[in-house]
């Protein structure tokens, strides 16, 4: 059996669901534009630069969940899926996922974005497993705090290993392991699988991938939505 792991934002998704969720709430008037828009952009730049403090970011990202009832949040998320997410799920990304699912590979999304945002996206793609940062709940309502280890940088490795342990497996159980990602933040997990794939990578990851001879795939860049690859192994 093969293990195939996918990052979500800017990998399967042509955009960042974390960033877009905050922007969506700002556009709905749920979050104050003056207070939140600049901070949202700052955190996004820190993420791209590899300098993000995940705990500081989660305090920002999860707090709005605690201020609203779950029914209201779910209704907003349905609009968010229709307006911001489905248009960003390209044919190339869907084809990549379906190709692996059809081979019987064990597939999972591994993302730092919280599971409230990403759960419906995983279901949209028919990916059966989601390893995401978990927003804590009490009596069905969000507390505004994370639970357990955030699925970010080295935390992704820890969370994947724990998930496999719960299935009675480990990375060595598979004849082939793959991870698709766009981000330098995912170098810890990319370095643990035997088939790392850089998808429309940021400059740091691209340089690393070229130096290591890793496969580079283009799903979202102009003229490359067919899933064209370099250094195909």
d(CA 75, CA 7) in angstroms, rounded, equals 25
Say which of 7, 16, 18, 186 is annotated catalytic.
7
If one counts the domains in the chain, the total is 1
7 tagged catalytic: yes
Say which of 9, 16, 18, 182 is annotated catalytic.
9
Q: Closest Cα to residue 114, out of 78, 64, 157?
A: 64
Using one digit for the tens of pLDDT, what is the confidence trace for 136-160?
999 999 999 999 999 999 999 999 9
Give the rounded percent of residues in the chain with a pLDDT score beyond 70: 95
126 tagged catalytic: no
- pTM (two decimals): 0.92
Strand bridging mode 2-6 / 106-114: parallel
Average pLDDT, the chain: 93
d(CA 26, CA 122) in angstroms, rounded, equals 24
Cα–Cα distances in angstroms (integers) from residue 80 to residues 73, 83, 221, in the given order? 10, 5, 23
**CA geometry: angle 49, 15, 213, nearest 5 deg:** 60
- CATH code, domain carrying 126: 3.40.50.1000
Using one digit for the tens of pLDDT, what is the confidence trace for 22-60?
999 999 999 999 888 889 889 989 988 999 999 999 988
Helix and strand numbers, DSSP H then E, in the chain: 9, 8
Using one digit for the tens of pLDDT, what is the confidence trace for 106-125?
999 999 999 999 999 999 99
Cα–Cα distances in angstroms (integers) from residue 44 to residues 49, 163, 189, in the given order? 9, 28, 21
Q: Which domain holds residue 124?
A: 2-230
């Amino acid at each position: 059996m093969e293990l195939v792991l996918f990052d979500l934002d800017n990998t399967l998704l042509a955009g960042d669901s974390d960033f877009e969720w905050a922007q969506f709430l700002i556009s709905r008037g749920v979050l104050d534009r003056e207070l939140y828009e600049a901070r949202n952009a700052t955190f996004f730049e820190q993420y791209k630069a590899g300098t993000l403090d995940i705990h500081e970011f989660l305090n920002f990202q999860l707090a709005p969940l605690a201020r609203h009832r779950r029914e209201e949040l779910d209704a907003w998320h349905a609009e968010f899926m229709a307006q911001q997410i489905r248009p960003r799920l390209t044919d190339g990304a869907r084809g990549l996922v379906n190709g692996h699912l059809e081979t019987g590979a064990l597939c999972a999304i591994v993302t730092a974005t919280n599971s409230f945002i990403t759960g419906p996206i995983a279901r949209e793609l028919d990916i059966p497993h989601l390893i995401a940062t978990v927003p804590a709940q009490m009596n069905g309502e969000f507390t505004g705090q994370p639970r357990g280890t955030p699925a970010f940088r080295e935390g992704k490795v820890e969370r994947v290993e724990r998930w496999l342990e719960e299935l009675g497996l480990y990375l060595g159980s598979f004849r082939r392991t793959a991870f698709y990602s766009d981000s330098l933040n995912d170098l810890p997990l990319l370095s643990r699988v035997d088939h790392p794939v850089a998808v429309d990578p940021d400059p740091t990851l691209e340089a690393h991938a070229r130096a290591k001879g890793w496969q580079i795939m283009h799903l979202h860049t102009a003229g490359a939505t067919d899933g064209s690859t370099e250094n195909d192994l």
